[in-house]
Chain A
Amino acid sequence: MAVAGLLTAAGTGIWLFAQEPPTPVFKSKVDLVVLSFTVTDNKGKYVNGLKPSDFKILEDGIPQKLATFAEGSKPPQQILADGSMRPLLPGSPEAEKAGPSAVNGDAFVGTNVFVLFDTSNFMYKGFVYAEDAIADFVRGLDKADSVAVYTFSRNLSRAAKLTGDRNDALLGLRKAVAGDDTALYNGLLLTLRDAAKVPGRKVVIVFSNGPDNASMVAPDDVRAVAEDEGIPIYVISTNDVNKDPISSSVFRRLATRTGGKAYWAKTWQKQVEAFDQIREDLGNSYTITYYPAPNPNEGFRKIAIQIPSDTGKRYRVQSRPGYRPRSF
């Protein structure tokens, strides 16, 4: 769940008065829910070209009114009261109104991809091949995407901070150094915290062989953070699915509960394939935002994405199942 911060817009809120008393400024501090998802048909093929009106979003069964809509890496559209759409781009009156830290088109164009690369002892043998696969992935990202490359062993290292420049990301990646212990979930948590600060759509891609021997936080607590922040986690394990069943089951849970996917790719070719699929996922996903309708539930809020049309009923939507609103 991304926080939009102070938003100047029509909607529910508190009346505050600016310096000129006759001109009221309508402000509300609300949490904007960002929801990324893919739609596939019964053969597993991506379904593209759907419109906002094709979807019905329910939160604990309460229908939600969409604020923006985007498909793939296309620029987002603002959804007006009458259901029509118009571009939400920097410079537009709406974006100007929204202010720099609020919803603006720029922030929502493309995806902010955080790659988390395991450089611990466990990855020692496959270290260079993994780097090659990640480098290929970075090179192949959509122009609109931004990418950060983080590495971890016992500690996290922000090898390349979020950037639109692929060379910067590759420079950071090639700086990676083999480390010692594996604190995967610590590293993932910190990556999610960084990702949560970035407006717009974001995903985290974990590249690891699985075992963790140093984290202080549990995967499910980390997963809850991803769920709440609306950040899908994709996992590429360089291990056999059956070799480490605990890690495999954790990876599966992390991915599915956050709207991402898990891949087991022991060879370099498989790793490249997994990255290709992730890239495809990113290019074929929908991103919507909405301000939650009043909901007394302060615990976990279940999100349902429905496509009410007859054909739509046969489609499969992959998304995070819900989130917990911030309590403080």
Chain B
Amino acid sequence: MVKGAAAGFLFLVLPLFASEATDKAHKYEDAGDSTAARNLYRQALQQTPNDAELRTAHAEFLERYHDPAAREEYRRAVQAWKRDNKTKEASAAARRAVMLDLIAGDRKAAEEDLEEYKALGGGDLRLPDAAGEKEKPQTIVIPGPLRSFARMAAISADSPPEDILPALARNVVTNGFQASRSNDELEETEYLKLVHRYLAQARELEKMAGAEQVIKVPGCESAQTNDLLRILGFRMRGGCGSEVVLETVNAPRAFLSTDSGFPLAQLEQSLRTDKPFSYDYHPTVVPVLYNPDYWITTKEKAQGEFIDAFLGDPSLCRFYLGMAKLDPETAAALKQAMNAVRLRAFASVLDFFGGNFEIRNGRAVLPGGQKSAAGWAELAGASPEKGAEFFEKLMIRDDGWLASLYDALARIHGPLQDYLTEPARMRRFYAAVRGKITTPGPARPVFRANADMMLLTTRLQIDPDGKPHIPGSIEVWKNLFGKSKGGKYDAKLSKASAQWKDPDDLLEALFALSRKPVDNEPLKIFMALTDIDRSRAAPLEAATVDRLVKGWNMFGPQYTVFSDSPAITDQTVLAWLDTAEAVDKIRDSRLRQDTIGMYQGLTGIWQIFCRQGSISVSKASDALAAMVTPFAAVKNNRELFDAGRQGLTLLVKSTGTTAGTMQERMLALLAGGPKVDDSETRTSLVQDEQRIFEAQKLLPADLIFELADNLEGVAKGEKLNAQLASKMAARVADIQLPRNSMTGAEKNIMAFGFYVDKHIDDERKLNFRAMIDKAGKDKNPEVLKDIRGTLAPTLRDTIVGYNYIHYSPPGAQILLTNPLFVRGHDFIGMQGANRSWRVTEMYGSGWPSNAGGRLVGSLAGLPYALAEAEQNFLVPTQTQALIWGDLVPQMILTAKAPRFWSVKPVQMHWVGMNMRFAEDEVAEAAVNPAARQEVFDAVDSAASPWRASLIRTAITNGDVKGALDYMTPSEMYWVARNLAGKPGQNSPAAREIAHIRSIAAEDVSPREISKAWGTPKPTLSNSYRSELLNIRTFPTLMGYSSRIMAESWESNLLYWAEVGDAIGAQPAQLNALVPEWTQKVVERIFASHLEDWPALLKSLRSVGEEVRTESNKTGAAAKAGTE
């Protein structure tokens, strides 16, 4: 895993001076070989162990690579400097040790090192009092242990106590109640009924546990045994002794006992051995916001415990959830201004939008700042100077529309925020999104409704001239709205569109459509075309845009092809569309599906090659245009085969690779990178690809081409290569067709697989000898030539298979188990619903007698669909956890689509150093009040107000590790970027950042870092290219559902870059490591709800720490020699 090639050759005969060793080591680091640098330090220190300068340099090196040994090395450096009577240097080393202690969460060590620092004259650091500054929260009691309650309430057992009530509130709101069948009221779901039953059982057990709060059974024959078993719903089978067995006697009680995790196995074992059984049954004490009386009335209090009132009232839970999302200062101001009853009336608005409300020193913090204040004041009807009143008015104004706009605008920054918060414009767009009838507001449903507006405000592009980017021209959009059939989007907008002159006219219409609960087609088109233009040197021409707008209905999902390659010309875009239209008109369904499959498959390969630089930017457009042309004229299988062969050959040729067979080159290219090498990583990736290729029983392109050439020769009188033909026949004959015993419902569902079955059946029945014999009898050479056309379906499968292989998720259980998965791709779909160009979808899972799930539609969403299909083969490490279906496919996609062959070590090191720098700044802020505000401001700009408040509080309390644990890697990176470069920064990370800038400024530019460590966001940015958007994580949304939320998580690759840098891996190695690490992360996530980012963060860091520890172990033995 760790690069170690350089480790062996270093053999120092003569002692190196400290500066010499440091320089050499740094050169290794600059070359991306931290292992060699590590070894050099190790050997130099063996020779001069008391060299203080060398010790310090080594400690700084270890710090840069997140090595826990750095702290001890700084302490050694302190002693070495002291021996040399260099107090200033000793003091500096002690200061570093303090910082690293705090980052590691080792307060005791920090105190000791701080003493040393002070003794050496350091006077600028003060460690806040750990306990004294924290306010003790009020608590409530829940019967039974936390773990049992968490299991029953579907809350992660890993949740900290303060998260229990908010998580419970969320579960009650989303899963606790359902519409009653008999009346208009809500009734409890089975989930909530079980929680209530569990609490009743827990209370019985609590009584039994008595004052000691421990359930005790002295022995098998004791009276307590029967009492306990009765409560648990079990009885003993057989008399006391080694044969005693617990068996169910009361199923509902026994279910609760098992499901809540009562230690039945231990109890049974105690009874068998007649030993005392004891089980700690202390109740769960969890913090409650403010105090219990704030939430429930005296009457409710008299009727039962807090938890009962809480569980029985979904509106109370929503209110609690909303308040829990507010940052404390804002919440305190609102509480003071509004009583609980009034605030509760806006619980839904607080829940969805309150997270971005911010009151500081009594004033509202406004998106757009002071220049927007007048606008906000007018819209809300209250001055932002009076923060609480302002937000009260904001909430009550219009059932949440204005609050939703505030929330959307608070999430963005820079020129885009400036543009949208210009008062007049804001008024106009607000009026549009609000409409005339405000009820129901956007906070009424379970998930927030106006997701489109958030997409628009996040992704709108502001051009250098300060105006929003309008793809094509305003005329194109006037046409779209004006000529839409019957004003299908909105009759009034269609009418008004004739008068549009300004970009804001169009934006106003897009805002207006965002309030509608229906599919917002114009916005999707607008965003897709904006994304195509976004990275182009020159935007698409108006005519091209017009064509793309008109073609949206049919080809919309395919437009990622055009955004993935910014160099594609307008002509090539139009040629691609023309050909797609021609292909779609082929009447013969079998020929059409094969042509579409091959066309999309080759386009997909082109996309892969372009994205990873295998086809250079300058050749990309021409390569696609040349690939496309022959397909326009396809009329039969022979022409299709020739077009496919020509296309594949051309694409491979465009990459410039020459060594090896076509199959070898294809697999090597699909593994990624502009150049094909023979590295260990590439070999392992190619082997994985080969396994899938074999499992799918696909035929290598070379074999197909060879056979085609042979058949061509047969037409000229040559002999059939029987060996080749039988090789192919053997491969195909083994394929079993799906079984046919289906129910009526299944037949209906599977009706879309009709042509797939035909496709596979045709391949199985291929018999060249019989065809040749027949053609020979007919003496028709044209028929002989046509025989090679019968290879077209097989070539289609191979080409489509190359796409599947490239995106195959970690584990690839489906691809390795179902040999028909690639062949079964259904490009046509159900009769009457042409799915050929629509996004890939997964169908047919969960029917025992079908042929397994299959993918339907185009290849446009293949990476996501494959990840989605594979996710449930991952095995959660926690018994109670399930795979987080809303997030995991995107995480798998992020692990598989980006490749790191072209990433430079310095780009990985850059991320690592920025992470170190962020840690360092947070630590500095904790012990140095003078540095605090700057860090707070940076945190505020990166995180939501609520989370920023948690981070600020932790910093103020001197809890550096706690503060860092709250921060996501992407937030840390942005905090570092905000703070870097300011005067007086002298930490090793700060110096290294400056050094990297001096040697590789272009490589570490925002654009290049975004390209190297960004994530693909096919929904949010209509592209599979890697990109960092620096956005706050999105909430769960209605409509676009979870995909946007998942795409807003940008932390994984940044974190893997940091880990890779710390362990001395090469970027290319990440091609194999990232999928492996990601799988572990997914399996370890134990989340309570759909926005449980901390659970993901925890899992991410646990895997990272494990990787680092493993790596450190490797070097530990060697290091021992230096100490």
Contacts and interface: CB of A to CB of B under 8 A. Distances in A.
B813 A158 contact: no
Interface string A189-222: 1100100000000000000001111111111111
The 3 closest A-B pairs by CB, nearest first: A218-B852, A213-B846, A216-B853
B738 A186 contact: no
A139 interface: yes
Contacts of A184: 848
Interface in A217-276: 217-222, 225, 246-247, 249-250
Contacts of B690: 328
B883 A175 contact: no
B875 A190 contact: yes
14 contacts: A128-B254, A139-B245, A155-B874, A155-B875, A155-B876, A157-B879, A189-B873, A215-B848, A216-B869, A217-B853, A218-B850, A225-B817, A249-B849, A328-B695
B517 interface: no
A170 B265 contact: yes
B848 A219 contact: yes
Nearest to B256: A128
B150 to A, nearest CB: 11
A250 B851 CA distance: 12
B817 A132 contact: no
Nearest to A131: B258
A129 B269 contact: no
B741 A249 contact: yes
B849 A246 contact: yes
B882 A246 contact: no
Interface of B: 151, 233, 245-248, 251, 254-255, 258-259, 261, 263-266, 268-269, 690-691, 694-695, 730, 733-734, 736, 738-739, 741, 743, 813-814, 817-819, 842, 845-853, 869-870, 872-876, 879-883
Contacts of B254: 128
Contacts of B845: 213-216
A135 interface: yes
Given A216-B872, A247-B848, A132 B248 contact: yes
Contacts of B245: 135-136, 139
Contacts of A218: 738-739, 818, 848-852
A80 interface: no
A218 B853 CA distance: 8
Given A128-B251, A175-B261, A213-B846, A246 B743 contact: yes
Contacts of A300: 734
Contacts of A167: 265, 269
Contacts of A221: 817-819, 852
A250 B846 CA distance: 13
A129 B851 contact: no
B495 to A, nearest CB: 48
Contact of B847 (A212, A222, A299): A212
A159 interface: yes
A278 interface: no
A178 interface: yes
Given A176-B258, A250-B849, A189 B882 contact: no
A189 B259 contact: no
B848 A128 contact: no
B814 A216 contact: yes
Interface residue tally on A, bucketed by range: 35 or more
A179 B881 CA distance: 9
Nearest to A181: B846
A132 B247 contact: yes
A171 interface: yes
A154 B849 contact: no
Contacts, number: 147
B730 A155 contact: no
B873 A177 contact: no
B1049 to A, nearest CB: 21
Contacts of B813: 186, 189-190, 193, 217
A174 interface: yes
A250 B743 CA distance: 13
Given A136-B245, A177-B880, A328-B691, A250 B817 contact: no
B264 A217 contact: no
B846 A217 contact: no
B817 A217 contact: yes
Nearest to B693: A328
Contact of A158 (B233, B875, B883): B875
B879 A299 contact: no
Nearest to A150: B875
Given A178-B259, A218-B739, 4 more contacts: A132-B247, A159-B879, A177-B879, A179-B882
Nearest to B883: A155
A20 interface: no
A138 to B, nearest CB: 11
Q: In the complex, which of the residues A129, A155, A171, A176 has the most CB atoms of chain B within 10 Å of its own CB atom? A: A155
Interface string A268-308: 00000000000000000000000000000011100000000
A66 interface: no
Contacts of B739: 218, 220
A327 interface: yes
A33 interface: no
A246 B848 contact: yes
A262 to B, nearest CB: 13
A285 B849 CA distance: 31
Contacts of A328: 690-691, 694-695
Contacts of B743: 246
Given A128-B254, A136-B245, A215-B846, A175 B879 contact: yes
Contacts of A1: none
A211 B874 CA distance: 21
Contacts of B848: 184-185, 210-212, 215, 218-219, 246-247, 250
A129 B873 contact: no
Given A217-B852, A328-B691, A186 B730 contact: no
A180 B882 contact: yes
A204 B852 CA distance: 21
Contacts of B247: 132
A111 B780 CA distance: 64
Nearest to A169: B265
A156 interface: yes
A217 B741 CA distance: 16
Nearest to B250: A128
A215 B871 CA distance: 11
Contacts of A216: 814, 818, 842, 845, 852-853, 869-870, 872-873
A75 to B, nearest CB: 27
Contacts of A211: 848
Nearest to A178: B259
A250 B883 CA distance: 27
A197 B963 CA distance: 43
Contact of B730 (A158, A179, A215, A298): A298
A246 B873 CA distance: 24
A109 interface: no
A143 to B, nearest CB: 15
A181 to B, nearest CB: 8
A179 B813 CA distance: 22
A128 B846 contact: no
A70 interface: no
A170 B268 contact: yes
Contacts of B734: 299-300
Contacts of A170: 265, 268
Contacts of B842: 216
B875 A212 contact: no
A267 B702 CA distance: 59
Interface in A130-162: 131-132, 135-136, 139, 151, 153-159
B58 to A, nearest CB: 39
Nearest to A173: B265
A88 B738 CA distance: 44
A39 B298 CA distance: 74
